[in-house]
Chain A
Amino acid sequence: MAQTKQKRFLIRTLILTVLAVAIIYTIYNNATKDKFEVLGVGDEAPDFTLVDLNGEEHRLSDYKGQGVFLNFWGTWCKPCAKEMPAMDRQYEVFKDQGVQILAVNIAQSNFEVERFADQYGLDFPIVIDKTKSVMEAYNIDPLPTTLLINPDGEIEKIVRGEMTEQDIALFMEQIRPE
């Protein structure tokens, strides 16, 4: 009798646990959906190649061993324009310490992007995602969104929205190779 009692207890515990886990998992998934469905902190950053304004190809995996400050932006986006000069200043500080900036423009014309880079005197490489395929791969929304990728090629942090110069310096410090 004691045996069946124990068996029943185990079966009931098992059924209730499985159901509870299924429900919690579903709710968790629904709650985090739309924000970053595929990518999260700790995931490997999907590789891509894009061409910059000088016609040079930039492949993410070529920067392994360096920290990559991956910024998605557009010329019409005011917060993007605001943080770019600060990014440029920090780029000057960190570029010799193994931190690279890749600024990915979302499908605008070369003319607009070049004009923007000239106007703000930006030195870091700016690439244009003409087909929005990198934007899709990273599920970017809204602009600006910045991903910090550590020297191992893993996502260290995802920043949605504008950053101050202090933030930028702090983030770059985070992904600086030892």
Chain B
Amino acid sequence: MNNIICACGHENPEGTVLCGNCGRPLTKEAKDLKLADMRYEGSARRSQTYNKSIIDKIWNFFSSVKIGVTIIIMILVAAAIGTILPQVLYVPASTEADIAAYYERVYGTFGKIYYELGLSDLYGSWWFQTLIGMLGISLIVASLDRFIPLYNSLKKQRTRRHESFMKRQRLFALGESVGQETLTKSEAKLKELRYDVKREDGALLAEKGRFSRWGPYVNHVGLIIFLFGVMLRALPGFYVDETMWIREGETRAIPEAPGYYLESKDFILETYDKEQADEVFGDAIERVGTIASNYQTDVVLYKKPESALPGQTENLEEVKKESIQVNKPLKFDGFAVYQMDFRLDELKTMHFVLSNKATGESLGDLAIDLVNPETTYDLGNGSSVKLLGYYPDFSGFENGEPQTKSPVPNNPAFLVRMTTPETPKGETSFVAIKQTVEPLGENAYKLEFQNVDTRDVSGLTIRKDKTLWILALGGLIFMIGVAQGSYFNHRRIWIHETKDGQFAVAAHTNKNWFAIKKELDQVTEAAQLPLYKDQQDSESQELKKDGEKSS
């Protein structure tokens, strides 16, 4: 490691551009520049200092802004590609194999590659998460590497700077002062302009708004907190986003909320009434038909007693009754249950009449509860119907055996034996909607379908998010950093008396040169300082002239 020793005797780490003590340019490039590059005060980026071990190499990799920007661009490109095909969440398939097949079937080879690369579940893919993680490392490492040297060099800065530093500042003056007590008058004026003023024999440094230099780093801290919050969502207990379907009358365990049960009492769908609605809405209702005004599930929330185990549901304790409406969730213990979806009129009970096919004479009626069917239905007067089989979602016969494709009564079918005084041995019949099969020969009696009772199903979403305040905090700190860096400027003015009794004046700001010029104008006038020149202005004017000539 080679330290650079400045002419003033100060030892600077390798990579330093401007001496940390007096401000002299140290590199050949810096000496050739007419204006000093004031980024990071000309201090060495820490990563440039050591580059020996593998750890230093990794560190330097992440410290590079080029790498940081490259990572951001890669994330943006990946996210953009992720919008080309629908994400898995919106694909009508649930198992991995189905999803893979769906992408290939619908989108061909492109879909297959898309799925294989994990683009179909972008945020869940390991490489996307790795990129985000690398962005996090880059933010931390690059910030540390720049913030610490900048902080140190601003903290240690000297009041008197070398002339070579002064004359490389954009605003610079050198000349006689006409008045008396130049530095004292300058100090008074600068203090009036709310500068912090430091004086050291024959030299003055006025500074304000240094904290605006920390803006970008505060901003990065906010981003890192935000990423940390997102990371926490992957841990159990921090984030829940589940759905549950619950039918009227059912009591169900709430997914991911151990010990809590929900009973649905009623699902309510209300629509706007044309008569009662305001005239303005009358037209709309006429145009589109019905418009829903309310989706609501009336529920009872239960909690199991401390000692009870899953499966033990006899003595659940009622916590509260509530009506869940859109945007009015049921809240408990950090969870919120939202009204999200519904299905109307699922079959609940079917009513039949046992009747004589020839005469049409009825032997009584029966109601089969599709959720909890009974084995035998006694109709009195010696007639009964015995249930031999129940197929809630009948999907056809397989080897003569009726099949059901789900436990939901979408298409209920029954195998029954009907016994009447006239047919004491019983007759077997297979009864489905719009279909009756008499497998053991012609029957004298039949189950005649009368009507159905239905019930509604509510689709609820269960949410818990313990990371929200972390995300909000991260966002707040991010915004503070943005404001700090954007709306405040770090301004410095150096004045000193040279050996031959002249005055050197230099000023620097990280932005808003117009404002610092106005302030320097005031100081110049008050203390009768030599008139400063904007060296960049003159430079660009020269360039402009050159440009005009050549055009």
B178 to chain A, nearest CB (A): 51
- A19, A50, A76, A107: the one contacting B393 at CB < 8 Å is A76
B289 within 8 A of A: no
B141 within 8 A of A: yes
Residue-wise interface mask of B (115-149) relative to A, using a CB-CB cutoff of 8 A (1 in contact, 0 not)? 00000000010100110011011001100100000
A133/B261 contact (C-beta < 8 A), A12-B59, A22-B231, A26-B231 known: yes
A93 within 8 A of B: no
Residues of B within 8 A of A136 (CB): 253-256, 258, 310
B217 to chain A, nearest CB (A): 15
A43 within 8 A of B: no
B311 to chain A, nearest CB (A): 4
Contact call A26/B133, Cβ cutoff below 8 A: yes
Contact call A49/B311, Cβ cutoff below 8 A: yes
Q: In whole angstroms, what is the CA distance A8 to B53 when docked? A: 11
Residues of B within 8 A of A50 (CB): 311
Which bracket fits the contact residues of A? 35 or more
Contact call A23/B374, Cβ cutoff below 8 A: no
Residues of B within 8 A of A112 (CB): 373, 390, 392, 407
A47 within 8 A of B: yes
Residues of B within 8 A of A74 (CB): 407
Residue-wise interface mask of A (94-118) relative to B, using a CB-CB cutoff of 8 A (1 in contact, 0 not)? 0000000000001111111001000
B405 within 8 A of A: yes
- A16, A37, A46, A129: the one contacting B58 at CB < 8 Å is A16
Q: In whole angstroms, what is the CA distance A111 to B58 when docked? A: 66
Q: In whole angstroms, what is the CA distance A29 to B238 when docked? A: 12
A166 within 8 A of B: no
B111 to chain A, nearest CB (A): 22
Q: In whole angstroms, what is the CA distance A129 to B389 when docked? A: 21
A130 within 8 A of B: yes
Contact call B140/A12, Cβ cutoff below 8 A: no
B30 to chain A, nearest CB (A): 25
Q: In whole angstroms, what is the CA distance A76 to B373 when docked? A: 16
Q: In whole angstroms, what is the CA distance A33 to B387 when docked? A: 43
A135 to chain B, nearest CB (A): 8
Residues of A within 8 A of B56 (CB): 9, 12
- A26, A127, A132: the one contacting B234 at CB < 8 Å is A26
B381 within 8 A of A: no
Contact call A134/B311, Cβ cutoff below 8 A: yes
Q: In whole angstroms, what is the CA distance A22 to B229 when docked? A: 12
Which bracket fits the contact residues of B? 35 or more
What residue in chain B is nearest A105 (Cβ atoms)?
A: B407
A30 to chain B, nearest CB (A): 5
What residue in chain B is nearest A74 (Cβ atoms)?
A: B407
B504 to chain A, nearest CB (A): 36
Contact call A29/B235, Cβ cutoff below 8 A: yes
What residue in chain A is nearest B368 (Cβ atoms)?
A: A111
Contact call A27/B126, Cβ cutoff below 8 A: yes
Which of A15, A27, A49, A142: most chain B Cβ within 10 A?
A27
What residue in chain A is nearest B137 (Cβ atoms)?
A: A19
What residue in chain A is nearest B59 (Cβ atoms)?
A: A12
B145 to chain A, nearest CB (A): 10
Contact call A23/B313, Cβ cutoff below 8 A: no
Contact call B372/A109, Cβ cutoff below 8 A: yes
Contact call A30/B374, Cβ cutoff below 8 A: no
Q: In whole angstroms, what is the CA distance A127 to B406 when docked? A: 19
B328 to chain A, nearest CB (A): 25
Contact call A8/B133, Cβ cutoff below 8 A: no
A50 to chain B, nearest CB (A): 4
Contact call B251/A111, Cβ cutoff below 8 A: no
Residue-wise interface mask of B (223-257) relative to A, using a CB-CB cutoff of 8 A (1 in contact, 0 not)? 00000000100111000000000000001111110
A33/B253 contact (C-beta < 8 A), A129-B311, A133-B311 known: no
Residues of B within 8 A of A27 (CB): 126, 129-130, 133
Q: In whole angstroms, what is the CA distance A115 to B95 when docked? A: 30
Contact call B231/A133, Cβ cutoff below 8 A: no
Contact call A33/B95, Cβ cutoff below 8 A: no
A82 within 8 A of B: no
Q: In whole angstroms, what is the CA distance A30 to B233 when docked? A: 9
Contact call B374/A5, Cβ cutoff below 8 A: no
A30/B258 contact (C-beta < 8 A), A76-B406, A136-B310 known: no
B41 to chain A, nearest CB (A): 21
B309 within 8 A of A: yes
Contact call A30/B53, Cβ cutoff below 8 A: no
A108/B140 contact (C-beta < 8 A), A5-B50, A133-B261 known: no
A8 to chain B, nearest CB (A): 7
B304-357 contacts to A, CB under 8 A, are: 309-313
A48/B310 contact (C-beta < 8 A), A16-B55, A27-B133, A111-B374 known: yes
Contact call A15/B310, Cβ cutoff below 8 A: no
Residues of B within 8 A of A33 (CB): 234
Contact call B129/A137, Cβ cutoff below 8 A: no
Residues of A within 8 A of B236 (CB): 37-38
Q: In whole angstroms, what is the CA distance A75 to B140 when docked? A: 55
What residue in chain A is nearest B236 (Cβ atoms)?
A: A37
Contact call B387/A30, Cβ cutoff below 8 A: no
Q: Which 8 A-B pairs have the closest CB atoms?
A: A23-B133, A133-B253, A29-B234, A50-B311, A48-B310, A48-B311, A137-B310, A133-B310
Give 25 pairs: A residue, B residue, CB < 8 Å, sorted on A.
A9-B56, A19-B136, A19-B137, A23-B129, A26-B133, A26-B231, A27-B129, A76-B392, A76-B405, A106-B407, A107-B407, A108-B407, A109-B373, A112-B373, A112-B392, A112-B407, A115-B388, A115-B390, A129-B311, A130-B313, A131-B311, A132-B253, A134-B310, A135-B253, A136-B253
Known: A48-B309, A133-B310. 14 other contacts (CB 8 A): A12-B55, A20-B137, A23-B129, A27-B130, A29-B235, A31-B124, A31-B126, A49-B311, A106-B407, A108-B407, A110-B372, A130-B251, A136-B256, A136-B310
| Chain B interface residues (CB < 8 Å from chain A) | 1, 50, 53, 55-56, 58-59, 95, 124, 126, 129-130, 133-134, 136-137, 140-141, 144, 231, 234-236, 251-256, 258, 261, 309-313, 371-375, 387-390, 392-393, 404-407
